[in-house]
Amino acid sequence: MSAQAPTLAIIGGGQLARMMAQPAIALGLPVRLLAEAEGVSAAQVIADHVVGDYRDLDTLRKITDGCAVVTFDHEHVPTEHLHALAEAGVAVRPGPDALVYAQDKGLMRERLAALGVPCPRNAIVATAEEVVEFGLPCVLKTTRGGYDGKGVWVVRAAADAAGPFEVAARTGVRILAEELVDFRRELSAIVARSPSGQAAAYPIVQTTQRDGICHEVIAPAPGLSDALAGEAQSIALRIAGELGVVGILAVELFETADGHVLVNELAMRPHNTGHWTQDGAETSQFENHLRAVMDLPLGAPTPRAPWAVMVNILGGDTPEPGRLYDGFPHALARDPHLRVHLYGKELRPGRKVGHVNTYGEDLDDCLARARHAAAWFAGELGDESE
Instruction: Tell me which of 75, 252, 255, 287 binds ligand ADP, using CB under 6 A.
Output: 252
> Could you give the CA distance from residue 168 to residue 175 in angstroms, rounded to a whole number?
7
Site for ligand ADP contains 328 (CB under 6 A):
no
Site for ligand ADP contains 20 (CB under 6 A):
no
Site for ligand ADP contains 73 (CB under 6 A):
no
> Could you give the CA distance from residue 48 to residue 17 in angstroms, rounded to a whole number?
13
Instruction: Tell me which of 84, 132, 180, 363 binds ligand ADP, using CB under 6 A.
Output: 180
Rg (CA), the chain: 21
Site for ligand ADP contains 139 (CB under 6 A):
yes
DSSP structure string for 323-384: HHHHTHHHHHHH-TT-EEEE-S----BT-EEEEEEEEES-HHHHHHHHHHHHHHHTT-S-GG
Confirm if 43 and 49 have CB atoms less than 8 A apart: yes
Site for ligand ADP contains 279 (CB under 6 A):
no
CB atoms within 10 A of CB 218: 21
> Could you give the CA distance from residue 225 to residue 118 in angstroms, rounded to a whole number?
18
Instruction: Tell me which of 212, 244, 306, 344 binds ligand ADP, using CB under 6 A.
Output: 212
Site for ligand ADP contains 178 (CB under 6 A):
yes
Site for ligand ADP contains 209 (CB under 6 A):
yes
DSSP structure string for 67-95: -SEEEESSS-S-HHHHHHHHHTT-EESS-
Q: Where are the alpha helices (DSSP H) in 104-212?
A: 105-115, 128-134, 162-171
Instruction: Tell me which of 10, 108, 131, 152 binds ligand ADP, using CB under 6 A.
Output: 152
Instruction: Tell me which of 103, 206, 264, 272 binds ligand ADP, using CB under 6 A.
Output: 264
Instruction: Tell me which of 73, 216, 265, 279 binds ligand ADP, using CB under 6 A.
Output: 265
Site for ligand ADP contains 256 (CB under 6 A):
no
Site for ligand ADP contains 146 (CB under 6 A):
yes
- Site residues (CB under 6 A) for ligand ADP? 120, 139, 141, 146-150, 152, 178-181, 186, 209, 212, 252, 264-265
